[in-house]
Amino acid sequence: MPEMTSLLTFAAIALGMVLTPGPNMVYLISRSIAQGKAAGLISLGGIALGFVFYMLCAALGITALVMAVPFAYDAIRIVGALYLLWLAWQAVRPGGRSPFEIRSLPRDGPRKLFLMGFLTNLLNPKIAVMYLSLLPQFIDPARGSILGQALVLGMTQIVISVFVNAVIAISAASIAVFLTRRPTFAIVQRWMMGAVLAGLAVRMATEARR
């Protein structure tokens, strides 16, 4: 079991990343607005399967490898911090496009919706960084099974991401209208999220190896 402080910090990073616009959010919102809540939730099922795929890859070997090589650990720590800073910039940069802007998409059947959700997540660099660069830093070999810790951290991320994305899929149209009518709220939210991600990036870059 990971240390509680590490688990909570990882959960905060997972929450910050799922709330930051990326391929998953853009696709899920577009699909929910264009085709309805059910289509969004089916797409989310594919996205969830992508999370499980990444978690198993990390848990079954990649994590153990990077923890065993100090240079690799430091390299991915810096890469992860830089990526969080990039996400922070994407949140606050001027002229950024809101993922809640309505996009027209063709109507797809359940099988294609699920597959597209899976592929969108599988090709999502944000999730790749989460599992291959961020997750290993929160595993401490001194606390027991690396596999067990990786699974606990991975399931924490999956539960947070699926819950938040489900809320977004169900409420996408309402949120889009709300933000259109209250542009100031959207600006404040972007800056708050940018500040959180930047703070996490600094913490990660300055944290010493366990």
pTM confidence score: 0.68
Tokens of 188: 């404040």
| pLDDT single digits (tens) 94-115 | 665 555 555 566 778 889 999 9
Determine how many CB atoms are found less than 10 A away from the CB of residue 191.
13
Predicted confidence at residue 189, as pLDDT, reads 64
- Per the listing, tokens 């059947």 go with 109
What is the span of the domain harbouring residue 190? 4-206
> Residue 158 contacts by C-beta under 8 Å, 6 or more apart in sequence?
48, 51, 52, 55
- Indicate the number of domains in the chain: 1
Longest Cα–Cα distance in the chain: 52
> Residue 94 contacts by C-beta under 8 Å, 6 or more apart in sequence?
none
pLDDT at residue 90 above 60? yes
**Average pLDDT value for residue range 6-24:** 81
